[in-house]
Structure 1
């Protein structure tokens, strides 16, 4: 079964910033959406990629999709990626290893990606397709983030003036003058089978001048989230607005509630158990901060009755929230 297509909220924040700059009332637009209303305060949370892209396209409906996607992509950088992604990328000794790391680790940032590569003469085509999109206007918003990540990765090796030989988009939206001017002599094709860039083999085998050997020893395999972990990541941003029902969560991740229920049953889980576990997981993190009152933690997780929160927390962890806070602070 296909995994939920999710992406870090930091990716969505770039679109939010652009929309705010052109005068869109973001707070009102978020309130009318199925996105978490306080997503701007949670850059490391995960949201549904199709939901985020569709919302950005609808909210910025007066902006050309290809131009919108390009402008958002130009604002993305290593700073919007997870620390694990940045660490592994900067550890790579050559352009080829760095690009392979980017392609593989990108699937951790965006679970809807499918990557591959092949030789074309003296060049290599690096493909990173976005699943769940049909080539319509919303597709190019997702594609630009991928394209720019690949280009920026190569520029970290070959220099800021490096350009790919070719860019291809699945989207049929035509690029405007701004895009052609930005990419110089690069061939740009739309309505193609793949999202890709074409890179000279010689560029891929360049050594990386910038290498941070102490960044992180996490491998791409360590980062992969299973279905349950992805589901928890999707649920977490919604806890403050009250817990989402299985019907709401199923809609967010793009499947029917019946299919979601069958999937969880096959894995030995229930939705109520996943929801409770997600709340306890987030509560444990909040309890490590002694400056946050326990009653406020309960309310932030959607519990109207703090005693109910305490009972559930104790049932799942074996200790009360107060005892847990004391244990992590070393008071016991």
Structure 2
């Protein structure tokens, strides 16, 4: 099998691979190669031969949940794009991606996130389940928050825009899940020196594109962070051993049960495990498989109770705190802010303004 040719640039793949050796081989899910292959197949490209040249699997559809090396994948995409004369192949591939193409673990965590802010925190926590060296974080910027991402250890690698388009499209889909399908970010920023072509920009007429940034990012209004989940996210596009219907049913039962206990204190983890008919260890393992912890479930139940009372009643904040299982106003405010990005009083004010 022929070895991949090095891509020219300020750093080549070999030098970056040497830098990454101590941290292991950076990997991405086969799922993220599939849309590029579909774009290339539409042009009649010799896709199978190119995949073989870059030491990539020649059949990936049935392996969507498995991992392949990122660096040869980026090389493959760039060489294929040039050979076929396809402009903005990263954008074309990103257009085929949907929320359901995220890993089952990520989708499960998003499904149980009560607010957009909590969902974005889960994305930061679980990003490595998509690309093993992907880092995602949130940066406040005025009245917006930036959802930032970058592949660690790849500074100087050319053609990163191919992967950056995919890394940006998923936060956009997540925000749209809460805001609506027509939402678009004010700014779409790339770490690479890439500038989208005219046709690509025409499809995002209200978005400003930036290049050469310290990281790739999109911006979201701060006021969106406290938006509640509109419902369950779509099921994963592929079936894997991580998909456990029994765990899902157990979690849904716990979410229905916990509100009845909030004012007197929720069951301990051990008590909840006993109610579920499991040992504490098995109980925790089932939750972990779904990408969630018992404390996450308790926090979500407390938030849903508190947000409903803040939104729909005139009950005092301290009384809402106590009914949600918090011992005092300060503890409640800190916990609520972790979940929404705003204080309970700010949340009440925002929801009243929205209703006017």
Q: Which residue of 2 aligns with 1:217?
A: 287
Q: What SS class does the counterpart of residue 167 from structure 1 fall into?
A: strand
Is 1:107 the counterpart of 2:177? The answer is: no
8 Å CA contact 2:123–2:136 kept in 1: the answer is no
1:102 Cα deviation (Å)? 2.2
Deviations 1:297-319 (A, max 9, x none): xxxxxxxxxxxxxxxxxxxxxxx
**Match for 1:89 among 106, 110, 134?**
110
Q: Aligned runs of 1:156-305 on 2, under 5 Å?
A: 156-211=177-232, 214=249, 217-218=287-288, 220=291
Instruction: Say if 1:148 and 1:168 are closer, same or farther in 2 by CA, change over 3 A.
Output: same
Is 1:72 the counterpart of 2:142? The answer is: no
Long gaps (5+) in structure 1: 223-332
Q: Distance in 2 between matches of 1:89 and 1:63?
A: 37
Q: Distance in 1 between matches of 2:132 and 2:86?
A: 22
8 Å CA contact 2:145–2:222 kept in 1: the answer is yes
Is 1:45 the counterpart of 2:66? The answer is: yes
Q: Distance in 1 between matches of 2:202 and 2:125?
A: 30
Q: Distance in 2 between matches of 1:148 and 1:197?
A: 9
Deviations 1:259-289 (A, max 9, x none): xxxxxxxxxxxxxxxxxxxxxxxxxxxxxxx
1:47 Cα deviation (Å)? 0.3
8 Å CA contact 1:165–1:198 kept in 2: the answer is yes
Instruction: Say if 1:187 and 1:64 are closer, same or farther in 2 by CA, change over 3 A.
Output: farther
1:178 Cα deviation (Å)? 2.6
1:190 Cα deviation (Å)? 0.6
The number of equivalent residue pairs is 222
Is 1:122 the counterpart of 2:130? The answer is: no
Deviations 1:89-108 (A, max 9, x none): 12211111112222322221
Q: Which residue of 2 aligns with 1:30?
A: 51
8 Å CA contact 1:65–1:138 kept in 2: the answer is no
Q: Distance in 1 between matches of 2:100 and 2:141?
A: 32
Q: What SS class does the counterpart of residue 61 from structure 1 fall into?
A: helix
1:36 Cα deviation (Å)? 2.6
8 Å CA contact 2:149–2:217 kept in 1: the answer is yes
Q: What SS class does the counterpart of residue 198 from structure 1 fall into?
A: strand
Q: Distance in 2 between matches of 1:163 and 1:37?
A: 35
- Cα root mean square deviation, aligned: 2.3
Q: Distance in 2 between matches of 1:2 and 1:172?
A: 26
8 Å CA contact 1:137–1:173 kept in 2: the answer is no
Q: Distance in 2 between matches of 1:32 and 1:169?
A: 28
Structure 2 length-normalised TM = 0.57
Q: Distance in 1 between matches of 2:166 and 2:128?
A: 13
Q: Which residue of 2 aligns with 1:3?
A: 24
Q: Distance in 2 between matches of 1:58 and 1:147?
A: 22
Q: Distance in 2 between matches of 1:65 and 1:134?
A: 25
Instruction: Say if 1:134 and 1:34 are closer, same or farther in 2 by CA, change over 3 A.
Output: same
Instruction: Say if 1:112 and 1:52 are closer, same or farther in 2 by CA, change over 3 A.
Output: same
1:208 Cα deviation (Å)? 1.3
